[in-house]
Amino acid sequence: MDISFLDIGPQTEPLLIFGGPYSNLAATLAMRAEAERRKIPATRVICTGDLVAYCAKPQETVDLIREWGIHVVMGNCEESLASGAIDCGCGFEEGTACSLLSVEWYNFASKRINDATRNWFASLPRGLEMIFHGLNFQIVHGTPNQINKFVFATTDPREKLQELEQLDCDGLIAGHCGIPFGERIGSKYWLNAGVIGMPANDGTADGWYMLLEGENGRCRASWHRLSYPAAQTAAEMQKVGLNCGYAESILNGLWPSEDVLPAQEKEQRGRPLNPSPLFF
């Protein structure tokens, strides 16, 4: 896997990590404003991929991310759009509702991004590596071995450990699944920052991001809600004809399909999340 080492600068300053802008320009603007409010520079902001997906502003969202100058890991959507693939490569099983729902937004996005964006997508690293408070982290989209693999909080820990044991690192930061979580597995850590461009199926319109900070000689991961003008994003989607269920999801906080979710995550549908900080 193509991994680039990231020099994040001072170890005493916080890092902001988020995933899945998903062509949601309003959410991405809110995320940048939140970073500025927290005085976190672009050099200390990382996106776990899937800049372009469900919403109505694919090119505009990419332009904002590039202007911002943050670090970005290649997601499966970037990989597919860069290569001219016929679908998003999200890992949905063929014929499922998730797969069928993806056709409309993927075709919409593919027609609206320019060649410069496709070339930039192709240049993105599939993984980043960094040292923070003496801990080595690798950052990927899905897993180190599969860019579009779904890993959730309730995914079998043995499966996660098998992935982690292949890595020379203390922790993995991933995206793709759309729901934030963090846990210790053996002597290592698996973190998912969540996404900003779609809700976490918890009945709220908020997106999620993660902070890594030093506290009393330890490292702390904490998860935070991102509120933004979701009604604006939904209206933009409806205006361009993206009415396949995701525009409604933007407002009610519930996914239009749960095909990819494990049973326990399905049971949590509509229940507001409140992840606890994780200390290293």
- Residue-wise pLDDT for 39-52, tens only, equals 999 999 999 999 99
Q: Which two tokens stand for residue 43?
A: 């050099």
Which amino acid is located at 56 in the chain? Answer: A
The number of folded domains in the chain is 1
Looking at residue 4, its pLDDT comes to: 84
* pLDDT 10s digits, 212-266: 998 777 899 999 999 999 999 999 999 999 987 899 999 999 998 888 899 999 9
Alpha carbon of 60 to those of 25, 233, 238, 252: distances in Å?
A: 7, 13, 17, 24
Strand locations in the chain (E): 3-5, 15-18, 45-47, 71-72, 127-132, 135-139, 171-174, 181-185, 188-192, 207-215, 218-226, 278-279
- C-alpha to C-alpha distance for 46 and 73, rounded to whole angstroms: 8
59's enclosing H/E stretch is helix 58-68
Cβ pair 24, 208 in contact under 8 A: no
* pLDDT 10s digits, 51-72: 999 999 999 999 999 999 999 9
78 confidence band (pLDDT: 50, 70, 90): very high
On the question of pLDDT at 271 being above 90, the answer is yes
On the question of pLDDT at 2 being above 60, the answer is yes
| β-strand partners of 212 | 15, 221
91 confidence band (pLDDT: 50, 70, 90): low
- C-alpha to C-alpha distance for 84 and 6, rounded to whole angstroms: 29
84 confidence band (pLDDT: 50, 70, 90): confident
DSSP secondary structure letter of residue 181: E
CA atoms within 13 A on the CB side of 100: 9
Looking at residue 157, its pLDDT comes to: 93
Among 47-61, 80-94, 116-130, the least confident range: 80-94
State which residues form the domain around 234: 3-279
Report the mean per-residue pLDDT for the chain: 92
On the question of pLDDT at 98 being above 90, the answer is no
The CA-based angle 71-102-59, given to 5 degrees, is 40
CATH number of the domain to which 18 belongs: 3.60.21.10
95 confidence band (pLDDT: 50, 70, 90): low
Q: At what angle do helices 76-83 and 115-123 cross, to 10 degrees?
A: 130
Looking at residue 166, its pLDDT comes to: 84
Looking at residue 88, its pLDDT comes to: 65
**156 compared with 95, residue with greater pLDDT:** 156
Looking at residue 125, its pLDDT comes to: 96
Is the pTM here over 0.85, yes or no?
yes
